[in-house]
Homo-oligomer: A and B are copies of this chain.
Amino acid sequence: MKINEIAKLLGSKVEGDPDFEVKRVSEIKDNRIGDLVFLFNEKKVNEVEKLKDFAAVVPDSVRECSARSWIRVRDVKASMIKTLKYFYDNSVQIPESYLTTLENLSHVKMGNDVRIGKNVFIGENCILGNNVSIFPFSYIGNDVKIGNGSVIYPHAVILDRTKIGQEVIIYPGVVVGSEGFGYHRVKGEFKAIPHVGKVVIGNRVEIGALSMIDRGTIGDTIIGDGTKIDNSVHIAHNVKIGKNVIILAQVGIAGSCELGDDVVIAGQAGIADHVKIGKGATVAAKSGVSKDVEEKEVVFGYPADKRLNYIRKASYYKRLPELFKRVKALEQSK
């Protein structure tokens, strides 16, 4: 493909050789002649010296670039997304031969252009919107609703009463709507508390492989629009999560927590039950949060503390050997 075509796709123009033939998109360290690379900032452009045999997409602010051909854009990452979508078919497809004939699912109320794999179980009173895709080996319980354009990958388990919005992606092995973990001890034995609530998932939510979202005790577990959840995340009963929240891999969120919009929870962090995390707050990786976090706060460590406190304490901690020496000197000088 001519570099010119890509420039047109990105709404920009080519600097340097306008006839350069792009063979593939690559990472900088793997590049070969004919490759196109995306350089996210000026520093990256300067680090890469021998660009002369390939093409680059760079930020607007770059004046000079050693690439044979280069394209300046306002947002390099957005341009990369556009180019990758144009160059590659990234979608994982249900093979045609594994699509079921919908006659087998005459008990399911469904919209147009629904694609369902063989060996998919769908219970009673379910409603599927238009363009829904469900891969083989997924289990959909009773009274489940799935909105337009949503995709359920293989081996997902969506239990009874779950409501899923539009354009949601459920990756492989996810479990939604399982019984919450709540017991009451009576004469030494644990009696399970029935979880009569459900899970409600908003629009454009994505849930990574092998994550799990338990249903509510009374009331529901709620995931807001646009929220993205990485792999192996545990979300307990009655948690309420806002819009456009990012939750990284292996995070655990205990029962009845509330996360505001735009919160970010980094990998392996844990949030104790009933904690409220304000809008726009960030929890650093591996932190353990047991108290409420204010809006826009950034917290670190275990027990989690505000960023500045954390850094201050850590620096004092580092200086402990020095302090021991100073005290010894004081003692000897007496």
Contact with B along A114-148 (1 / 0, CB 8 A): 00011101011000000000011101011000000
Beta-carbon nearest neighbor of A318 in chain B: B313
- From A7-15, A51-59, A168-176, give the one contacting chain B: A168-176
Contact with B along A1-39 (1 / 0, CB 8 A): 000000000000000000000000111001000000000
What chain B residues lie within 8 Å of A196 (beta carbons)? 25, 84, 87-88, 90
**A25, A123, A169, A285: which has the most chain B beta carbons within 10 Å?**
A285
When chains A and B are docked, how far (Å) is the Cα of A48 from the Cα of B157?
38
A249 within 8 A of B: yes
The verdict on A183 contacting B228 (CB below 8 Å), with A92-B159, A219-B27, A317-B320 known, is: yes
What chain B residues lie within 8 Å of A178 (beta carbons)? 153, 171-172, 208-209, 231
- From A63-71, A75-83, A291-299, give the one contacting chain B: A75-83
When chains A and B are docked, how far (Å) is the Cα of A95 from the Cα of B120?
13
What chain B residues lie within 8 Å of A75 (beta carbons)? 184, 186
The verdict on A323 contacting B312 (CB below 8 Å), with A81-B184, A191-B81 known, is: no
State how many angstroms separate the Cβ of A242 from the closest Cβ of chain B: 12
Contact with B along A237-272 (1 / 0, CB 8 A): 010000010101110101000000000000110101
What chain B residues lie within 8 Å of A186 (beta carbons)? 75, 78
A192 within 8 A of B: yes
When chains A and B are docked, how far (Å) is the Cα of A271 from the Cα of B238?
28
What chain B residues lie within 8 Å of A320 (beta carbons)? 313, 316-317, 320
Residues from 162 to 213 in A contacting B, C-beta threshold 8 Å: 169, 171-173, 175, 178-179, 181, 183-184, 186, 188-196, 204, 206, 208-210, 212
Number of copies of chain A assembled together: 3
Cross-chain contact A214 with B231 (CB below 8 angstroms): yes
When chains A and B are docked, how far (Å) is the Cα of A123 from the Cα of B188?
36
Q: Return 17 A-B CB contacts under 8 Å, by A number.
A: A81-B192, A88-B196, A90-B196, A95-B123, A95-B142, A117-B121, A175-B210, A210-B210, A210-B232, A236-B249, A250-B252, A252-B268, A267-B272, A270-B286, A272-B285, A285-B290, A330-B330
Beyond A97-B107, A175-B231, A212-B232, 13 extra complex contacts between A and B, CB < 8 Å: A27-B219, A78-B186, A90-B196, A92-B159, A95-B142, A119-B119, A121-B137, A139-B154, A178-B209, A181-B208, A189-B204, A209-B214, A254-B267
Taking Cβ atoms with an 8 Å cutoff, the residues of A that contact B are: 25-27, 30, 75, 77-78, 80-81, 84-85, 87-88, 90, 92-93, 95, 97-98, 107, 117-119, 121, 123-124, 135-137, 139, 141-142, 153-155, 157, 159-160, 169, 171-173, 175, 178-179, 181, 183-184, 186, 188-196, 204, 206, 208-210, 212, 214, 218-219, 226, 228, 230-232, 234, 236, 238, 244, 246, 248-250, 252, 254, 267-268, 270, 272, 285-286, 288, 290, 301-302, 312-313, 316-321, 323-324, 326-327, 330-331, 333-334
